[in-house]
Amino acid sequence: MKRSGLVFGVMVVGIALLLWAGWHNLRERRLAMQQAQENHVVLVPEKAGSAAQTDSQSPEAEAMQMRGKVAPGFTLTTLDGKKVSLSDYKGRPVLVNFWATWCGPCKVEMPWFEEFRKQYAAQGFEILGLADDVDAGKDAIAKVAQKTGVTYPILLTDGKIQKAYGGPDGMDYLPMSFYVDKNGVIVEETAGLGSKDEIEAHIKKIVASGATAAAGGQ
């Protein structure tokens, strides 16, 4: 009886260990999937009903429509009612970033933007954060801006600006970033969340390329 009880106890422990290992592996896989999703592009709400994107339809491949073109001008309103135009920053490198309050990856990169804004302030670098979901309300938009610690201008989109930069259907992905050099030309265009190093590399490019082009034109 003692031996059979011992065998039974060992079996119970073995089964328990197998169950724990299976649960642990499942938890690890879920965490990995969640991390991958957070680092992936995010579809805007109005596109949620469209066909799912395949691996061959990468946002990087689709997000090159504006590169090399002059950045479309705009005049939008800040959260406190002040009008801001892209032309106000003529001769300066500017990052035009489309984001939304519901967009997780947007909130990841916004503190990075603020850090780089301070780091490259001496070169005249500025960031304009264009809130895509104006219907969320100014309070909700301001709350996200405050929580992420950004102090650069947050502008309220008007529906037209999304089409000017994203095409007839507006923005397909968020976040969307357009790196504009000192000559007003879009040097880089990105869809979705990139790495911090990639973002800084793009910023360095617009800080340098506009200056080079300007020097060559003198």
The catalytic residue positions are 106
Q: What residues form DSSP beta bridges with 85?
A: 75
Beta strand residue intervals within 35-159, DSSP E: 42-43, 75-78, 83-85, 94-99, 126-131, 154-156
Nearest-CA neighbor of 192 among 35, 41, 37?
Answer: 41
Q: Measure the CA–CA gap between 134 and 138, rounded to whole angstroms.
A: 7
End-to-end CA distance of the chain: 98
What burial letters (b/e) apply to 71-94, b meaning 16+ CB within 10 Å?
bbebebeeeeeeebebeebeebbb
* CA angle 109–62–126, rounded 5-degree value: 35
How many other C-beta atoms are found inside a 10 Å radius of the C-beta of residue 128?
23
